[in-house]
Amino acid sequence: MRTTKNKKIYEKIAINNNISPQVVKNIYESMFRFIQDRVREVDNLDTKTEEEFKELRLNFNVPLLGKFYINHASIQRLKNKKQYYYEHIKNKEDQTTV
């Protein structure tokens, strides 16, 4: 259902701007890919302090949706969860190989 609705919107915009629907889709999705790539970069960085984190400028203003931002506490919480799950999986693997 959602993809059909999006497809119609892409086609309408494409007709109005005289470009292909695929180009419209790529333009629209590029801003979300950019945000996703930036978040992955931050996840891979080893930012210890909040000051280092603030220098990365991780605020994204998406038209009609608003401002997205990532704060230091959220990233630290996600890193801790990730580490916990990796350790939990490793412990389960160690127990099954014994």
Q: Is residue 86 a part of any domain in this protein?
A: no
Domain tally, the chain = 1
* Distance, CA of 85 to CA of 82 (rounded, Å): 5
Query: Does 83 map to a domain?
Result: no
User: What's the CA gap between 80 and 7, in Å, rounded?
Assistant: 39
Residue 52 forms part of a structural domain? yes
For residue 87, is it within any domain?
no
Q: Map residue 21 onto helix, strand or coil.
A: helix
Domain span at residue 40 reads: 2-70
Q: Note the pTM of the prediction, 2 decimals.
A: 0.58
97 lies in some domain: no
Per-residue pLDDT for the chain (98 aa), expressed as one digit of tens each?
467 888 999 999 999 999 999 999 999 899 889 888 887 877 666 666 777 777 777 788 888 888 888 888 887 888 888 888 888 887 777 677 65
Q: Report helix, strand or coil for 62.
A: strand
